[in-house]
Amino acid sequence: MKSLNGFPNRRQSLTGFTADGDEIWIIRSISQKFYKCQGCYDSIEVGAEHVVVQYIGRLGGTEHSHWHQRCAEEILYPQSRSLRPVAAKESSRGNLEKRGRRPAGRRRKPR
């Protein structure tokens, strides 16, 4: 598999699937408040670059968590399937909310 270290960045997000077949989107972000990393459970400070992981269920619905980029690279990427870079605009909040309102079979493929 091609290395995805360094992704996502400001121009490109990642998308793929969890082991359970839910869509996963991994997006570069700056924290607006204090978060706890879901990889190591340590803190992500305000203003820190990190990644937002957005899940979109097969049947619809969304949830998200915040991760240190390195924790995502080490823990999350190896558990995910078919991760690939896509243009960051594909992963806008509006686009992902819209995807979450449809079951998986009725979503258009991200470019």
**Residues engaged in binding Zn ion (CB under 5 A):** 37, 39-40, 68, 71
CA distance 38 to 22: 17
Are the beta carbons of 86 and 13 closer than 8 angstroms?
A: yes
- Shortest Å distance, C-beta 15 to Zn ion: 21
- Shortest Å distance, C-beta 25 to Zn ion: 18
- Shortest Å distance, C-beta 21 to Zn ion: 25
- Return the residue matching tokens 């820190």: 48
